[in-house]
Structure 1
């Protein structure tokens, strides 16, 4: 007779509880991340950067009206410390080449973020076309009933606006997916090199400390042995009696000098490790920020392409019923699009904030190391 294996209800209950606990933990983590994100948006640093970006965009819009693309040059006014300050520090100090690469990659990232802000500005400008279609629809609905149709002039204008919108190039195509991948790969490569260099220097420090002890002990033992030998000879010679104390003092003098030299070299490496470590932490946070930005860009790019495809399909079809449905979809998706634009803009501003905080910490570490070295 075959044996039927029933699963224990207690085991099933345990698995169910475990799955529920995992879901609860995931929800708690998501809530924590959301709270940290909201908290970051409330900081004075974020408010300052956001105000600078908005002010710069507003001034450029007034200067260029509808002429695009804009040339924002935001990174020149947003980067802290500025490029002139960093260039002066690099010229005055002998810093590790990886730190020079770090400063370069932060500028490149800022330029990418600037182009994205420019794209967001352009998307909002392009969406005014859809907004005019929605406004025209709303005015028509006020004047006529839902079951009635639009006038020929209204239909012509709406079809023209939709055709114009469908023909506009997606602003987010200013940066190709390949450029995003190259930037992300550059971040990861720099982080790996910084991490490996830190480990290499830490190993060297550890080895040199061990060698310091061995060499120190060797010097002491050698000169102590020589001193005792001379002291033994002192019993037979006045020269040995005079030379013994001098050599004993010399041995400790050489040991002290050796220890001082090793300490200077070790402290120099320790300062370098501290500088590279701060830069590595900054790059790690930047990688996370930029990954989030790239996901938001891809999602928003697809949303805009979908809107363009709907407008193009409506124009090609040419039927008023299809146009009504497309315009209704635009009205429904308008809020979602604005939210996505706002979210991407917030994360770009946070990325500027991350870069500035990291650059300041690296420069502070460089200046601290310089001050310590002079002392």
Structure 2
């Protein structure tokens, strides 16, 4: 599986920082302009995970996957005659992946070529390939559940003591075990290094966006400073002129002094350019954080697949040994005893894997939307 991953990464409750440097979080300056407070902005992956489970986008993805999974047999047979497996997956992806490839290509075609556009294009293309891998894993989860459902149902009606199985129980167990053994591996082609390219594209995009956010805040800071300097000059000039001109009355001098702070407040207001750049930086920061969350979820999926696959292979080996001697009660009893030892572990792992896959779909869609919004809002965007 992914060489850079560790089984320790399966933890769902960790606070991680998308940036090695202090992250600038949104706030408001005295003049009403967003500004940075210089504090770190950690991403609580556990909180993001829980929140994702209750979003409309997550529910939409879940529903679309379930609809495709629950198609009637007649529909599946008809579709299989008309399209290949890969074509079927592309059809499902076109329904789940949003914005779709057509909208993505339109936005990229309108954008001015540059470093950012190149990185976004690579990232969006890789996100399509990654979601295709996620869809294959989702199919594997469904196949694993289909294989284990009759097995678990049969175990639930057997006597609590494996040694008290009757001949009828053993005969029935033999046939169910044989059916389980005849099924293929639900994860025959694990995503070996499948997510590595996605995570590599993430690193490149994140580095560029981090630098772009810094430059944006620097420009906005310079604009604020520049806007305050003319006001100070105006005050000094007005006071000097008032003192030098003997013809100016005390009433006129008072008017100048009162008007000067008003002019200063007006001139301190940042330009629309600064506001627009800061708003864009906030959106880019959201994209960085979401992409980082996606990276961490991809990091948890691979070892979870390894764990499930190991369990399935171990159960298959044991069941195969149990049916080698026909309906002999003793090996059947031993298999039943083993399968009953931790039946919920596998089901929980499959549930977590399915949720992680759906969360990844949801985050991918959010990041795609944010990036397309950025490059579509200004066709002249350049590196």
1:234 maps to none
Equivalent residue runs for 1:272-351 within 5 Å: 280-318=288-326, 319-351=328-360
- Identify the match of residue 106 of structure 1 among 127, 132, 140: 127
1:52 maps to 64
In structure 1, distance between residues paired with 2:109 and 2:293? 27
RMSD: 4.3
In structure 2, distance between residues paired with 1:278 and 1:367? 17
Q: 1:273 to 1:161 in 2, by over 3 A?
A: same
In structure 1, distance between residues paired with 2:279 and 2:378? 6
Q: 1:111 to 1:61 in 2, by over 3 A?
A: farther
Greater percentage in helix: 1
Q: CA deviation at 1:350?
A: 0.6
Q: CA deviation at 1:280?
A: 4.6
| More displaced stretch, 323-332 vs 102-111 | 323-332
Q: CA deviation at 1:118?
A: 0.8
In structure 1, distance between residues paired with 2:13 and 2:118? 43
Q: Is the 8 A contact 2:94 2:100 kept in 1?
A: yes
Q: Is the 8 A contact 2:162 2:337 kept in 1?
A: no
In structure 2, distance between residues paired with 1:336 and 1:37? 20
In structure 2, distance between residues paired with 1:335 and 1:145? 18
1:357 maps to 366
- In the superposition, the TM-score normalised over structure 2's length comes to 0.61
What stretches of structure 2 of length at least 5 have no aligned partner? 1-11, 17-43, 223-273
Are positions 1:149 and 2:158 aligned together? Answer: no
Q: Is the 8 A contact 2:322 2:331 kept in 1?
A: yes
1:87 maps to 105
List per-residue Cα deviations over 1:98-153 (Å, max 9, x = no partner): 11101101111110111111111111222244246436x63xx49x99646323xx
How many residues are matched?
282
In structure 2, distance between residues paired with 1:91 and 1:148? 68
In structure 2, distance between residues paired with 1:352 and 1:108? 12
SS in 2 for 1:94: coil
What stretches of structure 1 of length at least 5 have no aligned partner? 1-25, 211-265
In structure 1, distance between residues paired with 2:365 and 2:297? 13
SS in 2 for 1:174: coil
